[in-house]
Chain A
Amino acid sequence: MENRDQKQRNPILRFLSSRGVGQVVIIAFVLVGLCLFFNTQNANFLGKRNIANLLRQIAPYIIIGIGQGYVLITANIDLSIGSVVGMNCMTIATLMCNGMHPIPALLVGMACCIAVGILNGELVARCKLPPFVATLGTQTICRGIAQMVNNNMNTDSIDGSAFSAAAKTLRDVFYYGKIAGIYNTFWIALLLWLVFNFLLAYTRTGRHLYAVGSNAEASKLSGVNVSRTIVKAYLVSCFCAGITGIIVCAQSGTGTMNAGTGYETFAVAASVIGGISTMGGTGILSGVLVGAGVWAVMDNGLQLMNTSVGLKNVVVGSIVIVSVLIDVVVRSGNLGFITGKVFGKRKAA
């Protein structure tokens, strides 16, 4: 009891224990450690060029992580993210190859993504479907749409489309261009992060997202529109997936039907490593930054070490489990039980 009181009085400890800030700090240290480790293995790792590449690699994970983070905070999950990435990639590429200017093509593609987000939200919030099932359904539907839009074929390169100059600009803006030595992709991710972090941390909508995830019933009885809040979370999720779809399309220059496969799990991993609980109500968006960072650094670093893809998957999977385990142990106070045992023995002795 006294311990807890002290914890509440000490502002630093309280800051660390609030909303999973502690885990973000721990993972940030892990991230720095990983970078230093990979640098000892390969001196190019922290080289200017690799850093630029690394940041560009992190960017899509951050973006989809933001979306998944929003949904997880409301104690739901979005499994449709990967398919929405693929759907948007295919939709915009197909439209451009069929002679549409990139700007309206992007608008149409993003509108489709937002529609999927609203559908997900309505299914979960108003039709009361379990989020796992509802978004598994839309996942399959969106992948199907990705395959259908160009008659079950990947598209040709958008460089050869009617507006080839505009297509080139598109690819530069979203992938190949640089500002201040850093690829635009990262700037886009950072911008999105700033906007959505602001919404989550400082606005009513953000507060309601946490409240709904923490206790939907209590929120409803306090006058929070629970359904609308959940729809907003899914909307953000699919919006972020759509942006990622554009980035994937800009990178390859073609629409690929299986683009984004498995991204929903990457997104869960990025959020969860960064301390956003799948049980809802807790976590901060900074967690997505470090979570996505760990993921991409492992990806990039192990690649530079020429290790197999298999090993990378095993290691990253283990990180996901360990980071959640730490969280569970700390939260349940099992750690306290262990320390209590130690103190008890001391007293007896």
Chain B
Amino acid sequence: MDDYIVRLDGICKSFPGVKALDQVRFRLKAGEVMALLGENGAGKSTLMKILSGIYTKDSGSMTIFGQPIEALTPKRSQELGIAIIHQELNMCRHLTVAENMFLGREKHNGILLSQKAMNEEAARILKSLDIDLDPTTPVGSLQVSKQQMVEIAKALSTNARILIMDEPTSALTSKEIEELFRIIHRLRDEGKGIVYISHRLEELQHIVDRVTILRDGQFILEADFDKISMSEIIANMVGREIKEKFPRVHCEKGKKILEVRNLNAGRMVRDVSFESYEGEILGFAGLMGAGRTETTRAIFGVDPKQSGQIFIDGKEVRITGPADAIRHGLVLAPEDRKKDGLCVKLSIRSNIELPNLDIACNNLGVVRRGLVSEMVAKAKAAFDIRMPNDQVNAGSLSGGNQQKVVVAKWLARESRVVIFDEPTRGIDVAAKVEIYHLMNRLKKQGISVIFVSSEMPEVLGIADRIIVMCDGRITGEMMIQDATQEKILELATRFENKLSIA
């Protein structure tokens, strides 16, 4: 006998039209953190959903804790000690921490719920994890990171011995990530098996013991983390060497296009002034919650401004709503694709058509279908958007392809300034590089690109000039030649001395 607690062999799973998993194998030992890696759509989440009973496999064998398992349901998998923490947090925001933790397996004495017992038990678990939370707080009023802690506590309250985490760090700040890693270490030392899915390869070194790589639904390799290099990992994920992780193109900096003077909009945008030039990528760095997204929203006219001026090509423009901004050639690819960037229930075609209806219609206001088809074809070719056809819902695409659609819809217009807010969040390495290429292409066309990102390496790799924000203010600006991670971090944490205000 070996010490594997999970053995999956020859797992196959098909969805209509797609073979999501093809003869996949997977092994997990007790007391280790296994990274499950692969590009978007490689089948990581599908595999884990099979392990946690959300999907049923088409074929293959599963052995969990030495016990051959045929059919799994979420409930059965929970009983076996498997818990999954989903990428998109799945909590009932109206219910309290304790109510969420015990959802579906409430303690009760026949009829009555044992509210007090559940609260006490929840408090005990939270305390054992060193999480400072009151179990009677409604989950909806917690920060995302705390909600994540609740998910973990919930998983542990089921006495889980196998914990699956799908992109747990994508919404966390670096301090919160440290906190999470501390908890993961501790669980590993207690002998739990942990499956860790993440696109942020740089964080693997802190926690991972072994890696399994999937590509296009197939098993590629399994290795000890310290015996494999990062470039090997990337090469195996994408199936080819990515030569340039951050492709850079050089072009002449042109004239000034956008100038923002003394912009104020709420607490998170205070006295912001900057300018951007033709043929330049201007990076906005900072910690999460530094006010960068709020700044882009205020410029684009989504949120009201209290004061400040915006100049495009030297002329002052009044932007009171997104329609004004678009008319002046200023467009925004927002941070939250599903919420702000796309109409997920509409087709890809309609999404691309939507912001361009003014140019796609004839004088009677009837949409010229030919022109729209042309736009869609152009976008598809330019961005290599992988879709069955342009009538499928935008929401059914993978994250990377959704992002491409968000950007593609602006391509049909003559834009002067394009703002990208966290365009690479939650998408895989190859798709990220495509987004970088896209920004470079816009830059070469003489468009001013503004690139907001919390991931410092990519800002350093792509931007020509970097502005750093902290707490709603611009705390520094530097040319790329002078920029280092340390400098940016120093500026990004330059909080005001709160006492001096009062």
B-contacting residues of A (Cβ < 8 Å)?
4, 8, 14, 18-19, 202-204, 206-208, 210-211, 213-215, 217-224, 281-282, 340, 344, 347
Contact = CB atoms under 8 A, between A and B. Distances in A.
Interface in B51-107: 54, 74-75, 78, 84, 86, 90-95, 99-100, 103-106
Interface stretch (B131-139, B168-176, B455-463, B467-475): B131-139
Contacts of A18: 138
B108 interface: yes
B141 A8 contact: yes
B18 interface: no
Nearest to B79: A223
A191 to B, nearest CB: 18
Contact of A211 (B54, B92, B267, B501): B92
Most buried by A among B54, B103, B137: B103
Given A202-B113, A219-B104, A222-B104, A207 B99 contact: yes
6 contacts: A19-B94, A202-B115, A207-B99, A210-B95, A211-B92, A218-B103
A224 B94 CA distance: 16
Contacts of A211: 92, 95, 99, 103
Contacts of B74: 220-223
A281 B139 CA distance: 12
Nearest to A223: B104
A207 to B, nearest CB: 6
Nearest to A225: B104
Interface in B243-272: 267
A219 B108 contact: no
A223 B78 contact: yes
A224 B141 contact: no
B112 A215 contact: no
B264 to A, nearest CB: 10
B112 A203 contact: yes
Contacts of A8: 134, 137, 141
Nearest to A337: B266
Given A210-B95, A219-B92, 18 more contacts: A8-B141, A18-B138, A19-B94, A206-B113, A207-B103, A214-B94, A215-B91, A215-B93, A218-B103, A219-B104, A220-B74, A222-B105, A223-B75, A223-B78, A224-B103, A224-B104, A281-B95, A347-B501
Contacts of B105: 222-223
Residue of A19, A223, A281 with most chain B CB atoms under a 10 A cut-off: A223
Contacts of B95: 207, 210-211, 214, 281
Q: What 5 A-B pairs are tightest by C-beta distance, nearest first?
A: A223-B104, A214-B92, A222-B104, A218-B90, A281-B94
Nearest to B501: A347
B113 A210 contact: no
Contacts of B84: 221
A18 B99 CA distance: 13
Q: How large is the interface on B (under 10, 10 to 19, 20 to 34, 35 or more residues)?
A: 20 to 34
Contact of B93 (A202, A203, A214, A340): A214
A307 B403 CA distance: 60
Interface centre among A18, A207, A213, A222 (most CB of B within 10 A): A222
B366 interface: no
Contacts of A347: 501
Contacts of B501: 347
Interface of B: 54, 74-75, 78, 84, 86, 90-95, 99-100, 103-106, 108, 111-113, 115, 134, 136-138, 141, 267, 501
A113 B267 CA distance: 56
Contacts of B112: 202-203
Contact of A14 (B108, B111, B136): B136
Contacts of A202: 111-113, 115
B376 to A, nearest CB: 30
A215 B104 contact: no
A279 to B, nearest CB: 10
A221 to B, nearest CB: 6
A347 B267 CA distance: 12
Given A207-B99, A219-B103, A340 B267 contact: yes
Contacts of B54: 221
Nearest to A73: B94
A218 B91 CA distance: 6
B106 A282 contact: no
A216 to B, nearest CB: 9
Contacts of B100: 218
Nearest to A224: B104
Nearest to B141: A4
Given A204-B106, A207-B103, A215 B90 contact: yes
A19 B92 CA distance: 13
A347 B270 CA distance: 14
A207 B104 CA distance: 9
A221 B75 CA distance: 8
B395 to A, nearest CB: 14
A27 to B, nearest CB: 19
Contacts of B267: 340, 344
A221 B108 CA distance: 20
A18 B138 CA distance: 8
A204 B113 contact: yes
B87 to A, nearest CB: 12
Contact of B90 (A4, A206, A217): A217
Contacts of A218: 90-92, 100, 103
A22 to B, nearest CB: 13
Nearest to A14: B136
A341 to B, nearest CB: 9
A282 B86 CA distance: 24
B381 to A, nearest CB: 36
B420 to A, nearest CB: 28
A218 B108 CA distance: 21
Nearest to A201: B113
Contact of A210 (B75, B91, B94, B104): B94
A159 B134 CA distance: 61
A224 B112 CA distance: 17
A206 to B, nearest CB: 8
Contacts of A217: 90
B134 A215 contact: no
B243 to A, nearest CB: 41
A291 B476 CA distance: 56
A207 B90 contact: no
A21 to B, nearest CB: 12
A219 B93 CA distance: 11
Contacts of B78: 223
Given A218-B103, A222-B104, A224-B103, A203 B111 contact: yes
